[in-house]
Structure 1
Amino acid sequence: MKKAGRVTSWNADKGYGFIDVHADVKDIFFHITALQNRSVRPKPGDRVMFELGKGKDGRLQASNVSILGAPKPQNQASVLPVFLAAIALAAIFAGALGGFLPRLAGAISLVMSIVAFLAYNADKTRANRKEWRTPEAHLHFLALCGGWPGALAAQHLLRHKNRKQAFQAAFWGTVVLNIGAMVLRKTLVPA
């Protein structure tokens, strides 16, 4: 059953806050993962609707929290990054076949893209189940080893790790390093 309340506090750095329900109950805890639309950050005074449940520790907490007046979350994945990932993978493959990139670059990039996509999918599944997660360094390593097109597609199709700015900065760094290494390898060691 949905309940109504107001946000009394929000700690943006730690990703949690509390909701006042105007009852004889203490303020209700809620975590950022309980928000239905994470693109809008809660602030004290926001009116919210939520469901009441118990956390792993047995204490009351809010779930399915929606901020009243906030835009509804969009469930459609952006097609442009997925299209760009497919184009990049095709360009790497064509460059390898044409001799512009190292000969194995196309096959390695294809295999690593599949592995990266599967790793993102597994991490997203674990995140939803609140299980042990894949370290971000492992995801970046897969991208660095040529799987960045698959990682880019996974980020947007699965809506996973595509908003975290520090992760995105490191991810795009791996893309630049991967492409730079392929070009440098080809110029230093011709086929």
Structure 2
Amino acid sequence: MRLNGVLIKWNVDKGYGFVQLASSNQQMFAHISEFENRRRTPKVGDEVSFNLQKQSDGKFRAIDVAYVRETMDWFLLPIIVIAMGYIAAVGYASLETQLPVQISWTFALLSAITYLFYAVDKRAAQKSKQRTPENVLHWLSVLGGWPGALIAQQQFRHKTRKTSFRVVFYLTVTVNVAAVSYLALDGHEFWQWTERFDSF
């Protein structure tokens, strides 16, 4: 069960501080490595949520620390440009090649759905509830929802530290981009086959 608190002390040079529970005056040690968003510097007064971990000396420390009220950082802008740029590129390719125009709309819809799946999974992780299987997230990405996944990962700071997940995620991106490129540039036989199939 996640707890809420306020950062009451922070040593910028050493990268640690103390969080005070919202429900009491109890203070917990918190290290910068446990903050999900390390692109911004923690400051006194930040409202955070966190889990507790008991140390060998019997004391507790705050782990998996997340900011409760976090605005969109400017670093997210290039991520959005990349994600939306890919969907726009697919749309343009559908006008210039044999690629069906429906694909760009499908990718946009899948991206929105994938974004929501990540948001729900992030909330479930914070509340220690049932999680979305990673295979579901990967299938959504490989089918065309990876732009939404990319935005959600960075905005929610979710699924960004697990190496095995990141490797598979970028593999799904590669497979999707390669498949779309093939169908757009050299997919004549595939489209002829689908046309023959539709004629039955």
* Length-normalised TM-score, structure 1: 0.61
Residues 165, 97 of structure 1: CA spacing in aligned structure 2 closer, same or farther, 3 A cutoff? same
Are 1:35 and 2:29 counterparts?
A: no
Gaps of 5+ in 2: 1-5, 10-28, 39-50, 66-70, 193-200
Kept after mapping to 2: 8 A contact 1:92/1:106: yes
Against the structure 1 CA distance between its residues 164 and 80, is the aligned structure 2 distance closer, same or farther, given a 3 Å change threshold? farther
Q: Match for 2:117 among 116, 119, 129?
A: 119
CA distance in 1, matches of 2:133, 2:155: 20
Work out the CA distance in 1 between the residues paired with 2:97 and 2:126. 43
- Structure 1: 4+ residue segments shifted above 4 A: 1-4
Coordinate RMSD, CA, aligned: 3.8
Q: Which amino acid aligns with 2:161?
A: R
Q: 1:65–1:135: structure 2 CA closer, same or farther, 3 Å change rule?
A: closer
| 1-structure distance, mates of 2:113, 2:173 | 16
Shift of the alpha carbon at 1:64? 6.1
What does residue 174 of structure 2 align with? 176
Residue identity opposite 2:97 in structure 1: G
Greater CA deviation, 144-153 or 179-188? 179-188
Post-superposition offset of 1:3: 11
C-alpha spacing 1:162/1:99, structure 2 compared with 1 (3 Å): same
SS at 1:63's partner residue? strand
Secondary structure in 2 matching 1:134: coil
Structure having the larger proportion of residues in helix: 2
**Structure 1 pair 175–62 and aligned structure 2 pair: CA distance change class (3 A):** same
- Counterpart code for 1:183: S
Q: Is the 8 A contact 2:119 2:156 kept in 1?
A: yes
Alpha-carbon distance between aligned partners in 2 of 1:126 and 1:31, rounded to the nearest angstrom? 22
Aligned position for 1:19 = none
Contact conserved, 1:121 with 1:154, CA < 8 A, in 2? yes
